[in-house]
Each structure stands twice: as structure tokens, then as C-alpha cells.
Amino acid sequence: MNRMKNKVVIVTGGAQGIGATYARALAAEGADVAIADVLDGSAVAAEIEAGGQRALYIKTDVTDQDQARAMAENVQERFGRIDVLVNNAAIYASLQMRPFDQIDLDEWDKVMAVNVRGPFVCARAVAPMMKARNYGRIINISSGTPFKGTPGLLHYVTSKGAILTLTRGLARELGEFGIAVNTLAPGLVLSEGVIANEAMRDTLTAPVLASRALKRDQMPDDLIGPLLFLASDDSAFMTGETVVVDGGSVMH
């Protein structure tokens, strides 16, 4: 219950879905949690505080450099430190699957802005605070799709492939400051958003299940253990790596 005791964690996109699962799990292990999201995360923050941990919701557009910097400064001022950044905010479940030549360019740009620019901007915002203490954990959330080339979602697949290389580059640049950077890559998770997107769920569920060594649906709670491993000192000498959690659909 104390793997994250006295740690301060920022979870982007933590107002709902898998991000909220991350926030609750980190708090349950003793972390104080800041939720950075364009959606209202005050209910999740209140829930965490009711459980005995400090929490803070900061409305943040992760693509906006000024908002990200203000968010990091707010967390630093409130909690006195930033130990972990979970770059979870992303566009996925709201997307409609379609051939690549039918993807609207504005939608492509929006996916790239949130899914790639967002983690870059947020990592840059927290880096000075982490460098000052010679300690930090940055966890970038990718996906199993870059390993498969999942059709019908080229913008999403491309963006999550970029996260793999973003992680490696950041790990090289930040290692000398005691900051570890790793990627968590979930498979198809039955999150709130996926359940609501019936077309996506119906298209992907059967082939994904067939490809898995462990023949069951993946739930948000399946990601808690791997996330805590990467966020805690259990992974202290690990950086630049990608941990795929998908029931054995992808093995690399």
C-alpha cells in the first residue's frame, strides 16, 4: 500500500477512463495526484482526497505550452515536488475507423497534436523540476497498435509509434539527471470510451482476442500493476523501454 508514499504524480487525461484508473491506483499506493485534463477532473480529485491523499485538478490543454508550464508550476507550488508524469492524454476512442485516404487532415493534425505534441510539451514542462532534484519518472502511454499496423486508424497508430521513439530519445537526454523515461503500451482495453464506440469495439474485439495468448478481454485494472512498476522505484534502473500489456497479442 506504500509503493508511492510521499510521491507526487501528474496524470494527464486523468478525468475519466483509464486515466482515472491510473490516478486512483497511484493514490491507493500513497501518491498525491494532480489530474491535468481539458475535461473536469474535480470529481476524481475529490474521491482521492476522500480516501486520504492530496489531489488537485488543473484544467489543462496538453498541446498548449503555456498551459502545460502553468500546470507544472501549480503542482510544484502546491505539493513541493514532481516525481512522476504519466502522459496518458490522447485521442482514440472517439475516432471512427476509416481507410487512410479518407482521414480528414484536420483530424490527423488534432490526433498528432494531442497524442505526440502533448507528451513532448508536458515532459518539457516538468523536466526542470525533476532535474533540480536529480529524480523523476516519465511514463508515456503508447499502444499495441504500432507493433501490428492496425488498419483503419493510421493517424492513431502513427502517433503511438512516435511515442516509442519519443521515449527512447528522452531517456537518453534525461538519464544523466536521474530521470527514467519508459513506455506503457496497452492492448485493446474495454474502457468507457471503447465500450461506447460500438463500431470500433465490434471491429477489433474478435481479431484481438484471437491473437492473444491469454484469451480474455483486457480491462483497465490489468494496467495497474505495470503502471505502478514503472512509476515506483521497482524500475529504478530501467529506462527507454516499452512494456506491452495486452495478453500476449504482441510479443517483442
6-51 pLDDT, tens digit per residue, is 999 999 999 999 999 999 999 999 999 999 999 999 999 999 999 9
Question: In which region does residue 151 sit, left (phi positive, over 0), alpha (psi from -120 to 50) or beta (all else)?
Answer: beta
* 202 burial level (CB within 10 Å; 0-12, 13-18, 19+): exposed
pLDDT confidence band for 203 (50 / 70 / 90): confident
* 227 burial level (CB within 10 Å; 0-12, 13-18, 19+): buried
In the chain, the domains with their CATH numbers are 8-245 (3.40.50.720)
pLDDT confidence band for 192 (50 / 70 / 90): confident
Classify residue 97 by its DSSP letter: P
Residue 55: name the closest of 90, 111, 107, 15 by CA: 15
The predicted pLDDT at position 81 comes to 98
Distance of alpha carbon 117 from alpha carbon 108, whole angstroms: 13
* 42 burial level (CB within 10 Å; 0-12, 13-18, 19+): middle
Is pLDDT at 198 greater than 80 in this prediction? Answer: no
Is pLDDT at 165 greater than 90 in this prediction? Answer: yes
User: Which residue is associated with the grid cell 516509442?
Assistant: 164
> Which listed residue (22, 57, 135, 156) is catalytic?
156
pLDDT in tens, 44-98: 999 999 999 999 999 999 999 999 999 999 999 999 999 999 999 999 989 999 9
The predicted pLDDT at position 26 comes to 98
Q: pTM value? A: 0.96
Mean model confidence pLDDT for the chain: 96
pLDDT confidence band for 194 (50 / 70 / 90): confident
The predicted pLDDT at position 252 comes to 80
156 given a catalytic annotation:
yes
The predicted pLDDT at position 152 comes to 96
| 132 to 23, 76, 84, 127, 128: CA distances (angstroms) | 25, 12, 14, 8, 6
Distance of alpha carbon 127 from alpha carbon 129, whole angstroms: 6
Asked if 82 and 6 touch (Cβ cutoff 8 Å), the reply is: no
